[in-house]
Amino acid sequence: MIAQLSFYVKQLSIRWWLCLLLYPGLSATAQTKDAAAMLLTTFRFEQMTGGIILLKATIDNHSDSLNFILDTGSGGISQDSITCQRLGIRTEASNRTIRGIAGVKQVDFAYNHTLHLPGLKVPGMNFHINDYELLTSVYGVKIDGIIGFSLFSRYIVSLNYDSHEIAIYTQGKIPYPERGVFLTPTIAGLPIQDASVADQSKRTGRFYLDTGAGLNLLFSSAYVRDSSLFAHNKRRYATVAEGLGGKTSMEMTVLKKFKLGPYGFRNVPVYMFDDEFNVTAYPQLGGLIGNDILRRFNAIIDYSTSRFHLTPNTHFYDAFDYSYTGLGMYQQDDLIVISDVIPGSPADKAGMQVDDVVVAIENDLSNNIQTYKQLLMQSGKKVRLVLSRDNELFECTLYIESIRKKLTAKASPKTN
């Protein structure tokens, strides 16, 4: 499965307590909620693997068009350190830290800058500075920053995954579609929502709503263990996560049932990891709900009233990605390079090795990492790859396993 890389290189940005420190005006803006909301701008966004939203923006008077990920799982707004240097933006040291799946990091800040979105100027942005080189290599496009709480706390944001359009409104009364439902998450810098999960046992838990995570669900291993959610002998697939501080191990399996509000999903791929740095805030929370679930709804997000309005869209019944290859890859300059091969995985059995260069997949020579990831999401299929190793070309055949098929076969053995 390749979709996990979208989340794995993503930090869960500044913790909620820091959000409240930097943006104390969230509650004060509620006084405008009785006025009619006004549409400020509408523009298109690009979707990456796992439903990740990519926006175009500029900063201050710089004309360079920058790529930002829109992320409810971010407690502020951030900018890539290399982009900051290239634009000559002054930074200041701070004692503030951010947490990621593989570490804790102290960050610098760039204070009081203006973010220019298409048709909208957002002043007074305090960027924390981070290195997004790894994020860039995974998506194959330059990632210049992440936009989170500092935008959502000021405006009502409407996301249409059918038309790939975002609309931004002033805070206030807004007409909602007749269809759909309201969620009322707790907004503590990051939105926290109740949801139910069921496999061997059934549980109601609290989870981050995280549009910046390109997966369905992520649980801490402690939550899985303490809730006895899965049978102890249920098969799990090993993978490697890359995030803030380095790499960490994760496991994948399939959850029988997941319910968000009145909407239920069956056989949902999930990820589990030992949350050493407690980015999932266990035991208060169990993990997060990612954008491979959230993209199935058109959403109106209003932090000032703590409401998410969700309307099922044309992607609601999209099949989940059950593919498993044990393969990780990233873009290095103009090359697509294999970064991880899990021992015993299909990629390992196919003879692939770390640092092999992917030349083609199934006669596709586009050298587009997003396209290659899509081609490797065909569970149950065999695909042909052309690789380069030590400047020698060779072919290999990769069988893409289906984690659902394997789990179903184990759970329901035939009897005579």
CATH architecture of 5-169: Beta Barrel (2.40)
The SS3 of residue 30 is helix
CATH architecture of 181-312: Beta Barrel (2.40)
Q: Which two tokens stand for residue 161?
A: 């995954």
Q: Given CA atoms 320, 218, 103, 147 in this order, what sign does their dihedral have?
A: positive
| 362 phi-psi bin (left φ>0, alpha ψ -120 to 50, beta other) | left
Task: Check residue 14 and give its pLDDT.
Answer: 36
Task: Check residue 32 and give its pLDDT.
Answer: 57
Q: Which two tokens stand for residue 322?
A: 């059950």
Q: For the chain, which ranges sit under pLDDT 50?
A: 1-31, 409-416
Tell me, yes or no, if the two domains 5-169 and 326-404 fold the same way: no
Q: Where are the domains of the chain?
A: 5-169, 181-312, 326-404
For 281-327, what is each residue's pLDDT tens digit?
899 999 999 999 999 999 999 999 999 999 999 999 999 999 999 99
Task: Check residue 406 and give its pLDDT.
Answer: 60
- Classify domain 326-404 at the CATH superfamily level: PDZ domain (2.30.42.10)
Among the listed residues 217, 222, 303, 300, the one whose alpha carbon sits nearest the alpha carbon of residue 260: 217
Buried b (16+ CB within 10 A) or exposed e, 113-131: bebbbeeeebeebebbbbe
